[in-house]
Amino acid sequence: MRHGQTDWNAAKRLQGSTDIPLNDIGRTQAGNAVPALSQFDWDFVVSSPLVRAAETADVIAGDLNLAVTCRIPGLVERDYGPAEGLIEGAELDSMRIPGGYYGAESESEVAERGLDALHVLSRENPGARIIVVTHGTLIRVTLTEALDLDVGSIDNATLNLVRHHRNTGFALHILNGTTHHTQGSHSDNSKGHKSWQL
């Protein structure tokens, strides 16, 4: 799940790794996410250490009577370098280069660390059903890599449900709160990782 809204989201400022807290709308979104999550059984919650994800995770965990067991550095949002804080439009366009933004972390680097963080989480908690609260770009590029499918943008505080099976790879069941049934091809066996589930 992506965190709730921040003032920078509302202003269309590129946040990246800049640590911006939730606004009132974002806190409400986090609470409003609970009914969709409560349709499933969960064991615990983890999040990115950035405050907007941590706050969202804390609201969800409190409402579902779950523990937030850790903040995982590998789940932080993409580092956009000097483009962070710029507003969508001409200001941000001036920082664009092929493949992203000047001085930014590449999407492939973000996807790799996102998948690595989830594989470690799974290895340390085999079979666990985990709510992972993180960031839009990290979710998008990680799922795109895992599913070999362009999943598009990720909405604030909406459920994305992915399951992984060792032999068949990743399967997308819910994206941005909408049911999907898409089987990916990114198997753990190809990288020697154990399976993980969301």
109 labelled catalytic: no
Please report which helix (H) or strand (E) contains residue 112, including its range: helix 107-124
The HSE-up count of residue 41 (CA atoms within 13 Å, CB side) is 2
| Residue bearing tokens 């990246």 | 16
- Say which of 3, 135, 164, 193 is annotated catalytic: 3
Give the active site residue among 77, 84, 105, 107.
77
Q: Which residues pair with 174 in a beta bridge?
A: 161, 179
Report d(CA 37, CA 116) in Å as an integer. 24
Burial of 131 (0-12, 13-18, 19+ CB in 10 A): buried
Task: Give catalytic status of residue 180 as yes or no.
Answer: no
Q: Which residues are catalytic, by number?
A: 3, 77
